[in-house]
Structure 1
Amino acid sequence: MTLPFFVYGTLRPGEVNHDLFLRGRTRSEEPGRLADAVLYDGPGYPYAVEEPGGGVVRGELVTALPEAYPGLLAELDRLEEYVPGDPRSLYLRVERKVVRDRDGAGVRAWVYVAGQRAAARLRVTGRRVEGGEWRGRGRGRARGPA
């Protein structure tokens, strides 16, 4: 299934992984937000943890160029250490509704959220990012997720 990506960390415009993975491969990038999630500082890169009623994570909704999509999907899965069906994955790629800021429309998108082990650890010992905005925290470190 071809879906846009919701990115909230090092893949956002101006962050270290944006140019490495997305430059020249996207049709559009526009602000959006993911509800029912909490953002944690990794450190170095963020984790979105799904939590009903938990808050909002802010980021960009990225639509890949059709010809770039298959390769980009595979590269982002590797970057996020996501292996389909493997519960040990650092992140899970899940389909979720993201609200586009410009018009409030809900858009189905791929979102990389913390895997089960990481989410459990973060809920106990993690540092929440208030307001769900990670922009500017990860400059200089080319690794890590969405």
Structure 2
Amino acid sequence: MTVERPGLPFFVYGTLRPGQVNHDRFLRGRTESEVPARMRGAVLYEGPGYPYAVADPGGEIRGELVTPAAAHYEALLAALDELEDYAQGDPANLYERVAREVLPGGGRAVRAWVYLAAEPVARRLRATGTLVPDGDWAPW
């Protein structure tokens, strides 16, 4: 029997990564797989205890490609949208959830949801933010 996936996997690059505070809170026990991956076309900026990914054609960030278990997909999508203060079409969003190509280690490119800084936040970060130079955010 084939299990249909209800939606795209997620690319996580900050507090949702394994070992980080929100991984256990939101993802532990709710995923099919979590594999190292990278995403081209974005850079990371430091935030207040978490990073922001900002679109940048020359950049690349590292994180994990997370495939939620089908039984948890809808609840997890809603919980992550809430965590990231994302509501579709809301001009006050700090992040926008967008589909991007992600490169899992040793695999072919796949489409995944990723939370990128909303454009007003991205403009501020480009002007005055602190860039994470290697595209790999780790608060330790």
Moved over 6 A (4+): none
Which residue of structure 1 aligns with residue 3 of structure 2? none
On the 8 A contact 1:88/1:117 being kept in 2, the answer is: no
Which residue of structure 2 aligns with residue 101 of structure 1? 105
Q: How does 1:1-146 map to 2 (within 5 A)?
A: 2-53=7-58, 55-103=59-107, 105-135=108-138, 137=139
CA offset digits 1:97-146 (Å, max 9, x no partner): 0011123x1010000000111101000000000110002x1x6xxxxxxx
2: distance between equivalents of 1:118 and 1:101? 30
% identical equivalent positions:
60
Structure of larger gyration radius: 2
Number of aligned residue pairs: 135
- TM-score normalised according to structure 1 size: 0.90
Task: Supply the RMSD in Å over aligned alpha carbons.
Answer: 1.0
Which one has a larger percent strand, Structure 1 or Structure 2? 2
Q: What is the CA-CA distance between 1:52 and the residue it aligns to?
A: 1.3
Q: Which amino acid aligns with 1:91?
A: Y
* Higher relative contact order structure (alpha carbons within 8 Å, sequence separation ≥ 6): 1
Listed as ranges, the gaps of 5+ residues in structure 1 are: 140-146
